[in-house]
């Protein structure tokens, strides 16, 4: 099925969803590695990515030594060894398990946050993104571009943002923090335009709590109030969802067939 340009793939379980997303992304990595020296990939950090990341590690034929890895957001002010830190999440789930050519971490504890934004922006310009692996927040955010700071024409590449309450509550819902008060109020995020510039976008979104977000992604007008709707304009984007997250897509037949 398609909604705009966005291809939609629905699976019975989140495990099937993760395995199929990993297979599709691995196919694209192998394809790109035939024609270019390095592949540059941005990864999302969230429990929604667990099955995909675990499955990606089992894929054969990926030359990990020819991949440069980035992540798309980071809390400001968490201890450097905090398991909730997104760099640490990906370090444990993927980055420490494969021999990547390079891994570039956002530093949420940088002395000068604005300089850190510029540093990471320069790296993203030096290594143009081939593949972005995304999630979608309960409030429709991409990375930490919550609706109040999700600008489709954002002039920045990386920026500091104040997280909205829905976003912070999601971190509790996901089991990442014990209480709302524990969730940092500020974060660094890659902006919508830099995520959108990736040649290929793969979006992995399981779970009942994401059903509203998936409904809005597919059904709402494309606007900043619902940041994930911009995916419908991407020329090469695939949305992987499970039965739980697709629960509000009642009239599946109403979408054009892929």
Looking at residue 257, what is its pLDDT? Answer: 37
Looking at residue 251, what is its pLDDT? Answer: 56
On whether the CB atoms of residues 141 and 228 are closer than 8 A, the answer is: yes
- Spans of all domains in the chain: 10-192
Looking at residue 113, what is its pLDDT? Answer: 98
Read off the pTM. Answer: 0.95
Which CATH architecture fits 10-192? 3-Layer(aba) Sandwich (3.40)
Looking at residue 258, what is its pLDDT? Answer: 37
Q: What is the pLDDT of residues 70-93, one digit of tens each?
A: 999 999 999 989 999 999 999 999
Q: Which residues, in sequence order, are CB contacts of 229 under 8 Å at separation 6+?
A: 140, 216, 217, 220, 221, 222, 223
Q: CA 255, CA 201: separation in Å to the nearest integer?
A: 20
Name the H helices within 57-196: 86-90, 113-126, 165-173, 192-196
Q: Considering all CA atoms of the chain, what is the largest pairwise distance in Å, rounded to the nearest integer? A: 52
Q: Which residues of the chain have pLDDT under 70?
A: 251-258
Looking at residue 83, what is its pLDDT? Answer: 92
> 40: which strand partners?
68
C-alpha closest to that of 203 among 15, 5, 21:
21
């Amino acid at each position: 099925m398609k909604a705009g340009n966005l291809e939609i793939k629905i699976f019975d379980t989140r495990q099937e969803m993760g395995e199929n997303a990993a297979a599709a992304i691995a196919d694209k990595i192998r394809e790109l590695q035939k024609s270019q020296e390095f592949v540059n990939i941005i990864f999302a950090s969230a429990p929604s990515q667990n099955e995909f990341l675990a499955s990606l590690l089992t894929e054969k034929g990926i030359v990990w030594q020819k991949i440069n890895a980035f992540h798309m957001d980071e809390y400001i002010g968490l201890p450097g060894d905090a398991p909730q830190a997104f760099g640490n999440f990906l370090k444990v789930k993927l980055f420490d398990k494969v021999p990547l050519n390079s891994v570039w971490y956002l530093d949420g504890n940088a002395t000068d946050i604005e300089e850190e934004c510029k540093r990471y922006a320069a790296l993203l310009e030096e290594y143009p993104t081939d593949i972005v692996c995304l999630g979608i927040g309960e409030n429709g955010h991409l990375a930490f571009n919550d609706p109040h700071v999700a600008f489709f024409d954002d002039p920045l590449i990386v920026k500091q943002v104040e997280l909205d309450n829905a976003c912070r509550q999601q971190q509790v819902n996901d089991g990442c923090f014990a209480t709302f008060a524990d969730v940092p109020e500020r974060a660094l995020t890659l902006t919508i335009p830099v995520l959108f510039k990736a040649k290929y976008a793969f979006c992995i979104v399981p779970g009942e709590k994401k059903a509203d977000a998936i409904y809005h992604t597919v059904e709402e007008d494309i606007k900043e109030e619902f940041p994930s709707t911009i995916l419908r304009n991407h020329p090469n984007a695939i949305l992987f969802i499970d039965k739980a997250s697709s629960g509000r897509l009642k009239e599946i037949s109403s979408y054009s067939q892929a």
